[in-house]
Structure 1
């Protein structure tokens, strides 16, 4: 697909970090802290969750991010009262507005990647996705993708586990949804934490996504320090090398040491997996860089 080939350039993969490693909100002071810590730790990209975008000063944040020499990406999930996978038109309308507003924020920050669970609320559903709900997802994201194309942006379908959505749980689910949406700036977003729960292994989904893979989250099976769990990151990075992936690779980890009101509950962040975000992030930066080097992803 055209957009995916544009993402997969010969440039080295930007190594990113999720802002929730540093701070729990997007107030001006928190953004300044996250930008400075991201730069100091040697990352190339900062990912901002837009769950708190009402407090985000977009123009000030854009300047700080640019002045630090960083790239930016944005992500989000929806809420049950603003869910584009609902069969209720009013709920879908609220979700669609939230998505278009978030796309505008991402563009205003200078980002080209808007990704996440853009297709549903972030939480456990009590029933399978309905055919009417899926049709709503397709039509809403088709319109969003068309708007994004006019801004030179891509949308990522993050593959999340069954306890956080009933829409997309595997790479094959995401590929099928992208096919139905039918816009070539819809890309697949794989996350090793979710893959560990839903996929047979960490290799086949990467190869199936191929040049439609546009964004990657690296996280341990428990979302703590990379290498402290049981995930086979060597195989995963080799698979990225096999497909010539050149998109962002962003470290994502959560702990109750950094509380994001609302989102921490949605993601079931009940305990401290770490207490020192700076040590965690520096370790992750080195871990990812080493795996990129030895796997040949950047070769």
Structure 2
């Protein structure tokens, strides 16, 4: 099982100036990762050519994630808001393409934030139609779209693996995948194993976020890591597994508020990233050893 190990750019920096991009990409490589996940929430602030050059210099791959705002919410009933959301998604897709990446993930189907009512039928249809449109544009550049389902406080469209698979079935595009995140799974799923199995059996397990229950250092919260790593090993997952962690030590001007990052869960991001990679690799290796022992 060959997993591509990534780290979220917000572990290193809250913005993407040339200096910060160089520092984040260099730190990612020094920590031993294969990939950095950039966050072009405002795509106009990303220099894709500069990013591509730095990635090539340090021998790294790249993915991109974002969440939409209320003003760009493609699950809105307002056609003007949906249109702005499509513009934002198209721009982010362009940043990823020009940076050399092939997976666009995250909350691409709604705003990232708490809703005060369930999704409407028209709003859900707008979201599904937008993802179909985005998938077709992405396919032109060989890009996969991975939908990150989030907990109930961050979206009202998809909160579980099964809801994501049902949403994808309506969209009906071969390059749309499910993006599983352990932080959200810990809130919404009844079984990590069954969630991974369901996404894999549907042929839609396309991206994984490795995050602790409190978004801090791995192994210090309540995520059932042996179960999750065991499930990935069982299905032979060979995609991207990106470590995601947030602290008020590193602040993004909008995302930190959207995710309610109010306190320092860590201050030494270099040690955090190195330890997370070691933890993930060890967990996957132990899962493989357990499976081998059981088969023997």
TM-score calculated relative to the size of structure 2: 0.95
Residue 293, structure 1, aligned to residue 261, structure 2:
no
**Which digits, 9 at most, give the CA deviation of each residue in 1:9-62, with x for residues without a partner?**
x6x111000010010011111111100000000000000011243222110110
The 8 Å contact of residues 21 and 277 in structure 1, kept in 2 or not, is answered as yes
Find 2:193's aligned residue among 203, 228, 235. Answer: 203
Question: In structure 2, the residue corresponding to 1:205 is in which secondary structure?
Answer: helix
- In the alignment, structure 2 segments of 5+ residues that lack a partner are none
The 8 Å contact of residues 113 and 153 in structure 1, kept in 2 or not, is answered as yes
Residue in 1 that maps onto 2:5? 15
Residue in 2 that maps onto 1:249? 241
**Which digits, 9 at most, give the CA deviation of each residue in 1:67-88, with x for residues without a partner?**
1111100000101011100000
Residue 284, structure 1, aligned to residue 276, structure 2:
yes
CA–CA separation in structure 1 for the residues paired with 2:143 and 2:10: 23
Find 1:126's aligned residue among 116, 130, 133. Answer: 116
Question: In structure 2, the residue corresponding to 1:296 is in which secondary structure?
Answer: helix
The 8 Å contact of residues 85 and 134 in structure 1, kept in 2 or not, is answered as yes
CA–CA separation in structure 2 for the residues paired with 1:262 and 1:119: 18
Over aligned residue pairs, what C-alpha RMSD do you find?
A: 1.3
Residue in 2 that maps onto 1:165? 155
Question: In structure 2, the residue corresponding to 1:77 is in which secondary structure?
Answer: strand
Residue in 2 that maps onto 1:216? 208
Residue 45, structure 1, aligned to residue 35, structure 2:
yes
Number of matched pairs: 289
Residue in 2 that maps onto 1:91? 81
Residue in 1 that maps onto 2:230? 238
- In the alignment, structure 1 segments of 5+ residues that lack a partner are 1-9
Residue 228, structure 1, aligned to residue 195, structure 2:
no
Residue in 2 that maps onto 1:7? none
Q: C-alpha displacement at 1:203, in angstroms?
A: 1.2
Alignment of 1:35-184 (within 5 A): 35-184=25-174
CA–CA separation in structure 2 for the residues paired with 1:102 and 1:209: 25
Find 1:24's aligned residue among 5, 14, 23. Answer: 14
Question: In structure 2, the residue corresponding to 1:51 is in which secondary structure?
Answer: coil
**Which digits, 9 at most, give the CA deviation of each residue in 1:261-295, with x for residues without a partner?**
11100000000000110010000010011112121
Residue in 1 that maps onto 2:267? 275
The 8 Å contact of residues 43 and 91 in structure 2, kept in 1 or not, is answered as no
TM-score calculated relative to the size of structure 1: 0.94
CA–CA separation in structure 2 for the residues paired with 1:17 and 1:221: 17
Question: In structure 2, the residue corresponding to 1:137 is in which secondary structure?
Answer: helix
CA–CA separation in structure 1 for the residues paired with 2:46 and 2:174: 30
